[in-house]
Structure 1
């Protein structure tokens, strides 16, 4: 049986960070296991390639939730990264640290040592920030670019609308003044996606003490008593057991990490027995506490050119491609989410409660039902959308069978609380006020139904139930906390009740951060490596 010091399950946003930092000293032998492929699709490197990877089964697990009565019986599409880089390889690239209160809330929920002052230091260590002029701040491996000089001219109407309503303006949602209308910063470098596989794993793989195994589907973690000692997996038609001399680190993400634990006998005992799995540890919180952002887009035809005008016709695509090849700039080098920000839906709110998006493009999927590509509409248009930042509903993710190839059972339990429903109405009315400003009125030729400007609060909620969807930020399914009564891992990310096993990914978030979750996931892994090495 092959032996390594650390076995990392999952080469996603967290796993790639861990592989680099745990291997840097050269003292430890690292194995990183990835169920997907090497992640070499050119559409991953291209920032606007998001539209190609969104439905691509070669790089996307394409999960689906259970139907939800609160959403009219609908199921939701849950894209998840399938390959090296994980979901950070196929996301829309918005780099959002989260609000300071998000992390102070973590500590208040029992995640001792994960307050804002601590995690801010970690962010500073991991980032190199690049301004529009090319000026660089910091020397971390993750480059974060301010592309405010490149966003589409139509975005000016969004900033004017916010100013008309007296809403704040922010030059950096990751800075001290993070509230207000902002151009989103993105994790790119040289016009290419800078995800954790490029920033962290690529240099780590140059070291002789790091091994990457792709196409490795983990069946379960094996224990000697209550100590995790090896990983059993399927690889190229063979079943293997690989031993970890120090620790096994589960970094498969908020969807897959609880499923690996459950297949390993750590989870709700009664449910495990129903799948023929002998429980090692009755841990009912494994898979629970699921949190996610639900969002909605309002579509409008525009009175002036938008990205649709450029990217829909073939000659426009060719022009954008040529600009990208020659300069590594232009729309192909940017996120589809160009601006937005954190906002208070009412001045009475103590902190921002909504995240908004303004995209100078509208798009539909292919009409043949195969949903293989996101295509801009053949007329100028834009999107105004929002997501309530801190939902209070809690769902679950569980295994559907003991077979690791079976998709998980995802039950989001959306809009289960009156508070969440009220936040939907508040966010919709904030967008409505923006759409009614003279600034956006100048840009709106007409709505693509429904017309947000005319909806009552009750209609806003009803429309949200009918059309909303996940914003792809699942967290919390192996939450951290002080003890097993309320959590799955300790603040040092060790699984309660067993030894030699940690979870390091978005599943351990006690609470969902207010914005996009890729940056805090990488931050968590960066700091977790320090904890692991301290304990070694």
Structure 2
């Protein structure tokens, strides 16, 4: 049970690391995953996220603490618990973010993390069906495709946005993000392309790669300031796996800080509260938590939507046969089809809100759809100022940590979410989508545009996560930084973090593609350090 490299977490970044590091036959690699293999058929059918997001065998089933910004509500925070991690249960949406996001990381004291540094890594992973060009890659493992689904109400929303004065953008991952259009998906031929399928499957039979499923790591063992092993349980039995070179935590924005704190790495006072001996003081562990909060205006409409077209045995049988015969139809539906990256103020350099246009509606994204035809014009703030924290609930890994998102805690965040709702309404007053709308189901006419507090209160009562937790082991130079620009845990030798937790600030878009890029970047740096 000794390897050169031990990777904890087989998610979006961890699978990339396992592939890239094990490509060198002279080193041995262990990849540890708390969940099981990705053999559920619902993982691979795109619309299966409706099933997997409720399955405790595939989802950690995290839940936040009561949040003041949500009027005291506690909400679900799904995270993947299987090979591929959250890339196996997410909505398949491929979004890189804005170049300015990464240039800002570099300006925050992280050389090597600017857009020009990272674009080659995005391209290296990518197999974009549109072919290679100066900003897109076609030779990578991760299949990225255009949506094959077409729903009248989504097309009508895109045209209405254009009528409202917003430009059409055929490729928001190209040279310019701003505009409206259609999402790109991590899918090919009607099947999900998770990080496990893209990166782990081609490498899984390498003799120098050992994959441990059903092993939950609870701590990193330290000796003289160096990480030398991980400890945990597999199928109920204790297991210790040691690392000759490095341990890399890729357990995500919740798991990675929890493991660090249980290893005695964190804020001394908080560790003492739980009787954990201090090994290394790092007050930033678990801090700087950021997420994208989505407000979900819903419109009843005359056009057919998923709500009614998938109800009943006849419809379900027809849909199943269409998928089996041609890998098409509603079972290939991603979490959203239409999108828009727009500005709430004309003086902004880049878009500050993102739309997810969905041909269905529900009280929340993890429940059954409504029994009437409707669509959702979900809107989120791309760069929230609000930050929260992850705290230990106890000294036991089995106890989920306390999640405090601290949503909508700044005036800018409050203003932006309200302006996003107003913008959703403005677009929906334009043809052709206006011609399909029966009425605004939520928030409804009882809350007019001019009622700022009413719209904000509706957002607090109904908004939910769009599943992008980041930042809890942030990269940087300041006293609250957990890792340096090479993702090395500050003050500990032989230990890195490589997942979305290292983001010093959240990216302007969905986080799966950036997490894969972080895996690519980490693998390059680790291999460079091997040669020095």
Distance 1:395 1:500 in 2: 28
Q: Per the alignment, in what secondary structure is the counterpart of residue 403 of structure 1?
A: coil
Residues 339-354 of structure 1 aligned to structure 2 (within 5 Å):
339-354=338-353
- Corresponding residue of 2:513: 519
Find the counterpart in structure 1 of residue 502 from structure 2. Answer: 508
Whole-angstrom distance in 2 between the partners of 1:347 and 1:292: 24
Is the partner of 1:454 in helix, strand or coil? coil
After superposition, give the CA deviation of every residue in 1:397-435 in whole Å (9 maximum; x if it has no partner): 022111110111101111111111111122111112112
Q: Are 2:123 and 1:128 equivalent residues in the alignment?
A: no
* Aligned-partner Cα distance in 2 for 1:475–1:404: 20
Work out the CA distance in 1 between the residues paired with 2:353 and 2:443.
21
Deviation at 1:137, TM superposition (A): 5.8
Q: How far off its partner does 1:516 sit?
A: 0.4
Which residue is 2:245 aligned to? Answer: 246
Kept in 1, the 8 Å contact 2:221–2:227? The answer is yes
Give 3-state SS (helix, strand or coil) of 2:184's partner. Answer: coil
Distance 1:377 1:283 in 2: 47
Pairing partner for 1:437 from 430, 433, 436: 430
Moved more, 438-447 or 275-284: 438-447
Match of 1:255 in 2: 254
C-alpha separation in 2, matches of 1:226 and 1:255: 24
Count of equivalent residues = 524
Could you tell me whether the CA contact under 8 Å between 1:429 and 1:457 is conserved in 2? no
Aligned pair 1:141/2:141, yes or no? yes
SS of 1:383's equivalent in the other structure is strand
Cα deviation digits, residues 62-107 of structure 1 (max 9, x gap): 1111111222111111111111111111111110011111111111
1:457-495 CA distances to partner (integer Å, 9 max, x unpaired)? 222111111111111100000000135x13000110000
Q: Deviations for 1:116-170, whole angstroms, at most 9, x for unmatched residues? A: 11111111111011149xxx961100010012x5321221211121111111111
Task: Return the TM-score normalized by structure 2.
Answer: 0.96
2:379 to 380, 386, 397: 386
Q: Which whole-Å CA distance do the structure 2 matches of 1:105 and 1:499 have between them?
A: 27
Q: Tell me how far apart the structure 2 counterparts of residues 236 and 520 of structure 1 sit (CA, whole Å).
A: 32
Matches within 5 A, 1:396-415: 396-415=389-408
SS where residue 197 of structure 2 aligns? Answer: helix
Mapped contact 1:106–1:511 kept (Cα < 8 A): yes
Query: What SS does the corresponding residue of 2:432 show, helix, strand or coil?
Result: helix
Q: 2:66: which partner in 1?
A: 67
1:27-58 deviation per Cα after TM superposition (whole angstroms, max 9, x unaligned)? 11010111111121111101001111121111
Please state whether the residue corresponding to 1:8 is helix, strand or coil: strand
Q: Distance in 1 between matches of 2:463 and 2:306?
A: 23
Q: 1:448 aligns with which of 436, 441, 448?
A: 441
Contact 2:153–2:433 under 8 Å retained in 1: no
Match of 2:114 in 1: 115
1:307 Cα deviation after fit:
2.5
Contact 1:308 1:377 (8 Å CA) reproduced:
yes
Distance 1:51 1:330 in 2: 16
Partner residue in 1 for 2:81: 82
2:296 alignment partner, SS class: strand
1:442 alignment partner, SS class:
helix
- Post-superposition CA distance 1:230-285 (Å, at most 9, x none): 11111122212211000000000001100000000100111111111110111110
How far is 1:364 from its partner?
A: 4.8
Kept in 1: contact 2:179–2:342 (CA 8 A): yes
Q: 2:150 aligned with 1:151, yes or no? A: yes
Structure 1: tracts of 5 or more residues without a match: 366-370
Query: Following the alignment from structure 2 to structure 1, what is the Cα–Cα distance between the partners of residues 402 and 394?
Result: 9
- Matched-pair contact (CA < 8 Å) for 1:479–1:510: yes
The question of whether the paired residues in 2 share the 8 Å contact of 1:152 and 1:307 is answered with: no
Say if 1:311 and 1:376, in contact at 8 Å, map to a contact too: no
Give distance in 2, aligned partners of 1:471 and 1:236. Answer: 32
> In 1, Cα distance between the equivalents of 2:470 and 2:396?
23
CA contact (8 A) 1:130 1:137 kept: no
- Distance in 2 (CA, whole Å) between partners of 1:318 and 1:363 is 22
- Paired with 1:111 and 1:470, the residues of 2 have a C-alpha distance of 28
From 460, 464, 467, the equivalent of 2:462 is 467
Deviates more, 1:496-505 or 1:211-220: 211-220
Consecutive unaligned residues of structure 2, counting only runs of 5 or more, are none
Q: Quick check: 1:304 aligned with 2:310?
A: no
The answer as to whether partners of 1:14 and 1:524 remain within 8 angstroms in 2 is yes
- Deviation track 1:356-389 (CA, whole Å, cap 9, x = no partner) reads 1111112357xxxxx9x74333322111110000
TM-score, length of structure 1 as denominator length: 0.95
Which shifted more, 298-307 or 281-290? 298-307
Structure-2 separation of matches of 1:239 and 1:113: 39
Cα distance between partner residues in 2 of 1:449 and 1:70 = 19
Task: Give the deviation of 1:346 after TM superposition.
Answer: 2.5
